[in-house]
Amino acid sequence: METLVGHTIEEMEGIAKALEVPAFRGRQLAAALYGRQVRTWDALTDLPRELRGRLAEQYALAPCHVRSSSAAPDGTVKYLLSLPDDEVIESVFLPYPGRTSVCISSQVGCPMACSFCATGTEGLARNLSAGEIVDQVVQMQALHSERITHVVLMGMGEPLLNYDSVLKAIRLLNNEVGIAMRHITVSTVGVVPNILKLAEEDLQLTLAVSLHAPNDTLRSELVPLNNKYPIARLMEACRAYTDKTKRRITFEYVLMSGVNDTEKEAHELGRLLRAQPLSSVNVIPYNSTDVAPRYKRPTPEAARRFQQIVTSYGVTITQRQERGHRIAAACGQLKRSALRAGSSMRPLPMLTGASSGAG
Ligand code: SAH
């Protein structure tokens, strides 16, 4: 059954008209679902009971339902959400002083098979619909009093391989849920044609590119898509993106001990990004996973040295939401451990404090 969450206001007006009621009923519906996060038909009291009944014959309200959650003392809550076909995705709620961020998924699984990533081992089950993407935010907002101000697409999946649904969801987040476009971050492994396509949309969103290595040999090992779109082409696409949008791109670099965190790679990265206008790098210590035990977190000294060297090239290092990043990074792991353990989820230890690679 189709869900109402996922439709624009105009589409909801159309749904109202198709049921032969005035268009404003559609606007009321949108305000209730996106603005007040109404989750049950009974709570949809602004619509007449008779109209709710007719709507319910054709539509479900929302696609995401909380299957389990685990909260950390710092306020972070990780959710496993189930979808109408019983697929499961992960979303994370991340409150900070002065802002509240959520990390959401764009696909069930992921086809990119990055060698260090837990989700990558799963393969792709399917794309999420626009409704399933936006509803992760709506569902979490319904459960928390803090106003969600930032959305990052850094959960499961490759957003730029689910382009149309992701773009529709971003517009819904901006127009109906009220998230500022600049506070929406799309993280991509580097799908070059769709970076160029996104540039043409000329949106003020934030683009993050998962680089993870400064040369093609190493990057192809970590990120198989690099065989198709090597670094030179990726950088060219990123330049075109910043030329068009005037927006800074964040390059994500997950540090893995002895793999990509040596001084050699630091110098290569410095040289690569020094030539890249409007760019910054976000260095994140690897979050160990059982699917790729050969990858380990860097030592704090190696992480510090790496950053010193990169900075010496005049490259900006951003220190952004380390907690968010690490939990986002742990996303595939959360689903794995929860599904192995059955529906009752063990609270996972939260990764806060300790070695701050992004410092
Ligand atoms: N497919 C997109 C978005 C999802 S992954 C992308 O690749 O950008 C979000 C980020 O988490 C990516 O930079 C990804 O490489 C990183 N990541 C995945 N597994 C991780 C791990 N175990 N530790 C740290 N970062 C990880």
Which range of residues forms the domain containing residue 324? 65-347
Q: Say yes or no: CB of residue 188 within 6 Å of ligand 1.
A: yes
Q: Which atom of ligand 1 is nearest to the CA of 112?
A: 1
From residue 125, alpha-carbon distances to 83, 119, 283, 291 in Å are 12, 11, 30, 18
Q: Would the CA dihedral through 231, 110, 330, 143 be positive or negative?
A: positive
In a domain, 354, yes or no: no
Q: Say yes or no: CB of residue 287 within 6 Å of ligand 1.
A: yes
155 Cα–ligand 1 center, Å: 8
Q: Say yes or no: CB of residue 329 within 6 Å of ligand 1.
A: yes
Specify whether 192 is located in the same domain as 75. yes
In a domain, 14, yes or no: yes
Which of 13, 90, 132, 322 is catalytic? The answer is 90
pLDDT mean by block of 10 residues, the chain; 359 residues: 97 98 98 98 96 98 96 92 97 95 96 93 95 98 98 96 98 98 98 98 95 98 98 98 96 97 98 94 90 92 96 87 49 57 36 26
Domain boundary among 40, 58, 76: 58
In a domain, 219, yes or no: yes
Residue in 214, 206, 257 with CA at minimum distance from that of residue 232: 214
Q: Which atom of ligand 1 is nearest to the CA of 292?
A: 22
Specify whether 26 is located in the same domain as 113. no
157 Cα–ligand 1 center, Å: 9
Specify whether 73 is located in the same domain as 20. no
pLDDT at 332: 57
User: CA 44, CA 74: separation in Å to the nearest integer?
Assistant: 33
In a domain, 128, yes or no: yes
244 phi and psi angles, rounded to 5 deg: -75, -45
Residue in 321, 238, 230 with CA at minimum distance from that of residue 273: 238
Specify whether 30 is located in the same domain as 100. no
Calculate Rg over the CA atoms of the chain: 21
37 phi and psi angles, rounded to 5 deg: 50, 45
Specify whether 130 is located in the same domain as 98. yes
Q: Say yes or no: CB of residue 284 within 6 Å of ligand 1.
A: yes
Q: Which atom of ligand 1 is nearest to the CA of 188?
A: 8
Specify whether 18 is located in the same domain as 160. no
Specify whether 266 is located in the same domain as 211. yes
Q: What is the CATH number of the domain that holds 50?
A: 1.10.150.530
Q: Say yes or no: CB of residue 252 within 6 Å of ligand 1.
A: yes
What is the model's pTM?
0.92
pLDDT at 288: 87
User: CA 161, CA 96: separation in Å to the nearest integer?
Assistant: 30
Output the residue whose Cα is nearest ligand 1's atom 16. Answer: 329
Specify whether 231 is located in the same domain as 164. yes
pLDDT at 337: 59
- Which 3-state string (H, E, C) describes the chain? CEECECECHHHHHHHHHHCCCCCHHHHHHHHHHHHCCCCCCCCCCCCCHHHHHHHHHHEECCCCEEEEEEECCCCCEEEEEECCCCCEEEEEEEEECCEEEEECCCEEEECCCCCCCCHHHCEEEEECCHHHHHHHHHHHHHHCCCCCCEEEECCCCCHHHCHHHHHHHHHHHHHHHCCCHHHEEEEECCCHHHHHHHHHHCCCCEEEEECCCCCHHHHHHHCHHHHCCCHHHHHHHHHHHHHHHCCCEEEEEEECCCCCCCHHHHHHHHHHHHCCCCEEEEEEECCCCCCCCCCCCCCHHHHHHHHHHHHCCCCEECCCCHHHHHHHHCHHHHHHHHHHCCCCCCCCCCCCCCCCCCC
- Has 13 been annotated as catalytic? no
Q: What is the CATH number of the domain that holds 118?
A: 3.20.20.70
Q: Which atom of ligand 1 is nearest to the CA of 332?
A: 19
User: CA 158, CA 187: separation in Å to the nearest integer?
Assistant: 8
Output the residue whose Cα is nearest ligand 1's atom 26. Answer: 329
In a domain, 2, yes or no: no
Specify whether 46 is located in the same domain as 87. no
Torsion, Cα of 348, 354, 355, 359 (10° steps): 110
- Has 158 been annotated as catalytic? no
If one residue of 115, 117, 128 were mutated to test the ligand 1 pocket, choosing by the most ligand atoms within 8 A of its CB, it would be 117
253 Cα–ligand 1 center, Å: 9
Specify whether 42 is located in the same domain as 171. no
Specify whether 134 is located in the same domain as 246. yes
User: CA 283, CA 295: separation in Å to the nearest integer?
Assistant: 16
154 Cα–ligand 1 center, Å: 7
Residue in 288, 287, 327 with CA at minimum distance from that of residue 92: 327
Query: Amino acid identity, residue 109?
Result: G
Output the residue whose Cα is nearest ligand 1's atom 13. Answer: 210
Query: How many domains does the chain fold into?
Result: 2
pLDDT at 328: 45
CB burial of residue 171 (10 Å; 0-12, 13-18, 19+) = middle
Q: Say yes or no: CB of residue 210 within 6 Å of ligand 1.
A: yes
Which of 64, 114, 238, 331 is catalytic? The answer is 331
329 Cα–ligand 1 center, Å: 5
